[in-house]
Amino acid sequence: MPWRSAAVRAAVQRAEETFGGIDVLVNNAGHMLVGAIEEVEEEQARAQMDVNYFGALWATRAVLPGMRERRAGRILQVSSPGGLVAYPALGIYRASKWALEAMSESLAAEVAAYGIHVTLIEPVMFPTGLAAGSPQARQDPAYAHARQALFAGAGAGGFTPGDRAATAEALLTLVETPEPPMRVLFRTGGLEALRTEYSGRLAGLDQWDHLSRLAQGKPSGS
């Protein structure tokens, strides 16, 4: 909503007037809507995108003019491995993170010339109370299998939650790194899952490459 973006711009302006500028922006606000695609109500879907994507977008846009003028700045987007891999019963939540990932990757290319660095942080699992404090869609028995698959996956592997205090140190290290990464996983245990996911994607594309060639059609004149 326009008034929300205006409120963010006003807050950023007050901060810049008070502190002389904003050097680092950390977009960390978010909630996790649990529900199959058909279970989620329209208002819930819009609220999910409003918080996880548009909130970060408005805050990012608000700090950019000052950062460009100073030709320096760090924008840290707290995303999720869910911004890279989708699971059942979390489709709308993951969609909000995929949107954040795409926007941030494009932004990084746009503002690099001004000395602004953008980093997507992918926290694997931390004891933040996110699940307990987030809304859930109505539960339709037709999708009980999807919720079971989600919770079975969450419990697999015996994950040990990451340390929130150690995360603060990692964030500061990231801010002080001259050439920070585009993406970084916070907490161990996520890299192997991503390797499996992306190798599977490439294998699937390779398996169906004959359809890609069919869609290409024959060269003109042949």
Residue 130 class from Cβ within 10 Å (0-12 exposed, 13-18 middle, 19+ buried)? middle
Q: Half-sphere exposure (CA, 13 Å, Cβ side) for 76?
A: 24
Question: Phi and psi at residue 58, in whole multiples of 5°?
Answer: -65, -40
CB-CB contact of 96 with 40 (8 Å): no
Which DSSP category does 163 fall into?
A: P
Q: Which of 53, 96, 97, 143 is catalytic?
A: 97
SS3 content of the chain, % helix, strand, coil (to 5): 55, 10, 30
Give catalytic status of residue 79 as yes or no: yes
CA distance 44 to 34: 10
Q: Which of 53, 80, 93, 143 is catalytic?
A: 93
CB-CB contact of 166 with 123 (8 Å): no
CA distance 90 to 36: 7
Give catalytic status of residue 93 as yes or no: yes
Tokens, residue 108: 């990084």
Residue 194: CB atoms within 10 Å: 15
CA angle 194, 186, 77 (to 5 degrees): 95
Q: Which of 79, 80, 96, 104 is catalytic?
A: 79
Residues with a known catalytic role: 79, 93, 97
